Amino acid sequence: MLLVEDEPLILMDIELQLQGAGHEVISVRNADRAIEVLADRVVDVLLTDIDMEGSMDGLKLAAAVREGWPPVEIVVMSGKRRPTCDELPQRARFLEKPLNTGSLLEAIGRW
């Protein structure tokens, strides 16, 4: 699983929740680094924040992943805004922050 979150404490919290549930997690702080990871490794799930600094926000990253790595399942998260259906790539899910462990594991556990 690839986790993309620019806030260090939130990144650490989500990473610990996922690892505690037995998931292998690769954590990065921006979309550019996420694309590098995807080009180098096989990833089954992308969990990304929407609002991030850098060349892409989480929605643009999700669209790029759907285009370049169609099998990757996508979960987009935000505590600031809810994306419209048109903004989310096909088959992507949305989670509102703050995340609770149950909803997080349910969203990624469907795959």
Q: What is the pLDDT of residues 2-38, one digit of tens each?
A: 999 999 999 999 999 999 999 999 999 999 999 999 9
Q: How far is CA 32 from CA 1, 20, 58, 62, 83, in A?
A: 16, 27, 11, 12, 21
- Three-state SS sequence of 35-92: HHHHHHCCCCEEEEECCCCCCCCHHHHHHHHHHHCCCCEEEEEECCCCCCCCCCCCCC
> What percent of the chain has a predicted confidence (pLDDT) above 90?
73
In the block, tokens 């990757």 appear at 72
Is the pLDDT confidence value at 111 over 90? no
Closest by CA position to 25, among listed 89, 110, 104? 104
Is the pLDDT confidence value at 110 over 80? no
- Over residues 84-91, the mean pLDDT reads 88
CATH code, domain with 14: 3.40.50.2300
Which of 40-49, 78-87, 100-109 ranks highest by mean pLDDT? 40-49
Local structure of 14: helix, strand or coil: helix
pLDDT digits (tens, 9 = 90+) for 55-82: 999 999 999 999 999 999 999 999 888 8
How high is the pLDDT of residue 92? 93
Overall number of domains in the chain: 1
Range of the domain at 18: 2-109
Q: Tokens standing for 17?
A: 């929740």
